[in-house]
Amino acid sequence: MPEGGYYSWKKTDDICEDVCGQEASRAALSMSRLRCILRGLDLKTYILLLVIVPTCIFGIYLQGQKITYFLRPLWESPPKAFHEIPHYYHENVSMENLCKLHGWGIRESPRRVFDAVLFSNELDILTLRWNELYPYITEFVLLESNSTFTGLPKPLVFASHRDQFKFIEPRLTYGVIGGRFRKGENPFVEEAYQRVALDQLLRIAGISDDDLLIMSDVDEIPSSHTINLLRWCDDIPPILHLRLKNYLYSFEFPLDDKSWRASVHKYQTGKTRYAHYRQTDDILVDAGWHCSFCFRHINEFIFKMKAYSHSDRVRFSHYLNPKRVQDVICKGADLFDMLPEEYTFKEIIGKLGPIPPSYSAVHLPAYLLENADKYKFLLPGNCRRESG
Ligand SMILES: *[C@@H]1O[C@H](CO)[C@@H](O)[C@H](O)[C@H]1NC(C)=O
Ligand SMILES: *[C@@H]1O[C@H](CO)[C@@H](O)[C@H](O)[C@H]1NC(C)=O
Q: pLDDT for 44-91, tens place per residue?
A: 777 778 888 877 777 777 676 677 777 777 777 788 999 999 999 999
Spacing, Cα 362 to ligand 1 middle (Å): 18
Spacing, Cα 178 to ligand 2 middle (Å): 5
Percentage of the chain with pLDDT > 70? 87
> Closest ligand to 91 CA?
1
Q: Is residue 387 part of a domain?
A: no
Q: Based on the domain organization, do 64 and 93 belong to the same domain?
A: no
Least confident of 7-21, 39-53, 153-167, 251-265: 7-21
Per the structure, the complete domain to which residue 175 belongs is given by 84-378
35: confidence class by pLDDT, cuts 50, 70, 90:
low
Q: Is residue 184 part of a domain?
A: yes
- According to the model, what pLDDT value does residue 40 have? 62
Q: Based on the domain organization, do 361 and 275 belong to the same domain?
A: yes
Spacing, Cα 257 to ligand 1 middle (Å): 29
Q: Based on the domain organization, do 322 and 363 belong to the same domain?
A: yes
Q: Based on the domain organization, do 225 and 346 belong to the same domain?
A: yes
Atom 10 of ligand 2, residue of closest alpha carbon: 178
- According to the model, what pLDDT value does residue 7 have? 41
Q: Based on the domain organization, do 53 and 166 belong to the same domain?
A: no
Q: Is residue 75 part of a domain?
A: no
- According to the model, what pLDDT value does residue 41 have? 66
* pTM of the model as a whole: 0.82
Spacing, Cα 157 to ligand 2 middle (Å): 14
- According to the model, what pLDDT value does residue 62 have? 67
Q: Is residue 225 part of a domain?
A: yes
Q: Is residue 249 part of a domain?
A: yes
Atom 4 of ligand 2, residue of closest alpha carbon: 178
- Pinpoint the alpha helices (H) of the chain: 2-21, 26-70, 72-75, 95-101, 123-133, 157-160, 187-205, 224-232, 298-307, 322-331, 345-350, 366-370
Atom 5 of ligand 2, residue of closest alpha carbon: 178
Least confident of 30-39, 57-66, 134-143, 256-265: 30-39
Q: Based on the domain organization, do 161 and 45 belong to the same domain?
A: no
- According to the model, what pLDDT value does residue 75 have? 73
Atom 9 of ligand 2, residue of closest alpha carbon: 178
Q: Which of 146, 156, 157, 181 to mutate to test the pocket of ligand 2 (most atoms within 8 A of CB)?
A: 146
Spacing, Cα 202 to ligand 2 middle (Å): 22
Beta bridge partners of 145: 177
Cβ atoms of 143 and 197 within 8 Å: the answer is yes
Task: Look at residue 13 and tell me whether its pLDDT is greater than 50.
Answer: no
Spacing, Cα 300 to ligand 2 middle (Å): 22
- According to the model, what pLDDT value does residue 42 have? 72
Answer with the one of 70, 96, 123 that is the final residue of a domain.
70
Q: What is the CA radius of gyration of the chain?
A: 29
> Dihedral of CA 324/327/329/335: which sign?
negative
- According to the model, what pLDDT value does residue 73 have? 76
pLDDT tens figures, 331-360: 999 888 777 777 777 777 877 778 999 999
Atom 2 of ligand 2, residue of closest alpha carbon: 178
Q: Based on the domain organization, do 149 and 261 belong to the same domain?
A: yes
pLDDT: which is higher, 108 or 10:
108
Q: Based on the domain organization, do 56 and 180 belong to the same domain?
A: no
Q: Is residue 140 part of a domain?
A: yes
Task: Look at residue 93 and tell me whether its pLDDT is greater than 60.
Answer: yes
Task: Look at residue 10 and tell me whether its pLDDT is greater than 80.
Answer: no
Atom 6 of ligand 2, residue of closest alpha carbon: 178
Q: Which helix (H) or strand (E) holds 358?
A: none
Mean confidence (pLDDT) of the chain? 87
Answer with the one of 26, 48, 70 that is the final residue of a domain.
70
Ligand 2 atom index nearest CA of 146: 1
Q: Based on the domain organization, do 31 and 93 belong to the same domain?
A: no
Work out how many domains the chain is built from and give that number.
2
Task: Look at residue 19 and tell me whether its pLDDT is greater than 60.
Answer: no
Spacing, Cα 354 to ligand 1 middle (Å): 40
Atom 8 of ligand 2, residue of closest alpha carbon: 178
Please measure the distance between the N-terminal and C-terminal CA atoms of the chain and give it in whole angstroms: 49
> Closest ligand to 152 CA?
2
Between CA 118 and CA 224 the distance in angstroms is 20
Q: Based on the domain organization, do 39 and 90 belong to the same domain?
A: no
> Closest ligand to 144 CA?
2
Of 64, 71, 83, 66, nearest to 344 (Cα)? 71
Q: Based on the domain organization, do 262 and 372 belong to the same domain?
A: yes
- According to the model, what pLDDT value does residue 29 have? 62
Residues with CB under 6 A from ligand 2: 146, 153, 178-179
Most confident of 99-103, 298-302, 311-315: 99-103
Distances (CA, A) of 126 to 115, 136, 150, 176, 294: 12, 16, 21, 17, 11
Average confidence (pLDDT) over 357-382: 96
> Closest ligand to 151 CA?
2
pLDDT tens figures, 226-281: 999 999 999 999 999 999 999 999 999 999 999 999 999 999 999 999 999 999 99
Task: Look at residue 312 and tell me whether its pLDDT is greater than 70.
Answer: yes
